Amino acid sequence: MSATPEAVAREWFRRVWNEGSEGAIRELLAESALMHGLPTPDGKPLAGPDAFIPFWRKFHSAFPDIKITVERAVSQGDMVAVHCRVVAKHTGDHLGIKATHKPIDMWGMGMARVRDGRIVEAWNSFDFLTLYQQVDLLPALA
């Protein structure tokens, strides 16, 4: 019996992000998976682990102490939605700017379709505007 969609989502955030396990990406993300809503140069979804891993490396290198807490999860069939809090400190020079050593604290939501214990498609809606403001990539709104 495969893990529930909620269990897979929680394992994704724990292992991939909080523990920094690149190997878990290949275990939990299907080869043909589409990852929507992540900041990419062309605005298109990332397709599969080979496209997601460079994004993950860059982001995890900029925020090596990242902790993502799944505060709430709701599942229906093969779908799961999560509400997450993200905290970290910007200590890496991997966002196109020098490390600011400033803390970040933002919220976001994600939804994933899970089959056979792996994510096959995901939609991300994280507050990257707040993150960019917190590391001085954009000015805070007055």
* Structural domains present in the chain: 5-134 (3.10.450.50)
Strand positions, DSSP E, 7-102: 29-36, 46-47, 67-76, 79-89
Q: Which residues pair with 86 in a beta bridge?
A: 68, 106
pLDDT in tens, 57-68: 998 999 999 999
pLDDT of 140 reads 75
Picking from 38, 72, 66, the residue whose alpha carbon sits closest to that of residue 53 is 38
pLDDT in tens, 86-117: 999 999 987 778 999 999 999 999 999 999 99
What is this structure's pTM? Answer: 0.91
Band of pLDDT at residue 1, cut at 50, 70 and 90: very low
